[in-house]
Structure 1
Amino acid sequence: MNNTVDELTVDYEEDGILKIKEIDKEVLSKGAWATVLFRYREWQENDTYGPDRYVIRRYKKSGGEYRQQSKFTISSNDQARRIVDALSRWMSDEDAGERK
């Protein structure tokens, strides 16, 4: 059960193997709707975990429990860097506009 945002995870176990292992998470918003950014690794065929991956998930609290409503998986480190770069540029532009 996921009664609080802190209990939300992407960990996934199958046949006694942790197939998706959460490395870290950042809660972006809380409340009736919660948004969480997860950093995780997936179990590979060669019995090791692959590279870091990232996903943003939106949850809605219903009946006292959070249920996933949507997700966006960041497909590569390059895509993650481009998102960070764009947001940084836009925020810098916005900050510059506020100073004018």
Structure 2
Amino acid sequence: MAETIDAIDIEYTEDDKVVVKQLDKNVLTRGSWTTIMFLYQELDKNTEEYGPAKVSIRRYQKRNGVYRQQSKFNISSAKQANEMILALQKWYPKDGTFVPEGTVTDEGE
């Protein structure tokens, strides 16, 4: 368990082998509740090689001076990641003009 957000990681070692290798980390929110997105690879125990990169989004809560994981969501394929990207870009466009489907506007009447 980590005392600071910067100390939180998901790298995991078992029998002197890095089983989960953290490649990158992006802190999405900071505070007593923090959300972090990790890029990582898992070691295939049969081939001893790392598999494709995956993403994990995790929420941590700080209690009694340490951050504890409360929930996680793993994105396990590029297809799933790209579907999420498309949906997020639709819902949160850069220009802020998105109107959800089915919403009635003055212009459409």
Give the TM-score of the pair, scaled to structure 2. Answer: 0.85
Q: Give 2:77's aligned residue.
A: 76
- 1:49-96 alpha-carbon deviations (Å, 9 max, x no partner): 100000000000001000000000112110001111110111128711
- Describe the SS at the equivalent of 1:95: coil
- Supply the distance in 2 between the matched residues of 1:36 and 1:62 (Cα, whole angstroms): 17
Structure (1/2) with the larger helix percentage: 1
Q: Label 1:88 to 1:2 Cα distance change in 2 as closer, same or farther (>3 A).
A: same
Q: Number of aligned residue pairs: give it.
A: 99
2:61 aligned partner, one-letter code: K
Q: Give 2:35's aligned residue.
A: 35
The aligned runs of 1:42-81 (5 Å cut-off) are 42-44=42-44, 45-81=46-82
Q: Give 2:6's aligned residue.
A: 6
Structure 2 unpaired stretches of 5+: 100-109
- Supply the distance in 2 between the matched residues of 1:26 and 1:16 (Cα, whole angstroms): 26
- Describe the SS at the equivalent of 1:92: coil
Structure 1 unpaired stretches of 5+: none
Give the TM-score of the pair, scaled to structure 1. Answer: 0.92
Amino-acid identity (%): 42
- Supply the distance in 2 between the matched residues of 1:47 and 1:73 (Cα, whole angstroms): 22
Off by >3 Å, runs of 4+ in structure 1? none
CA RMSD of aligned residues (A): 1.9
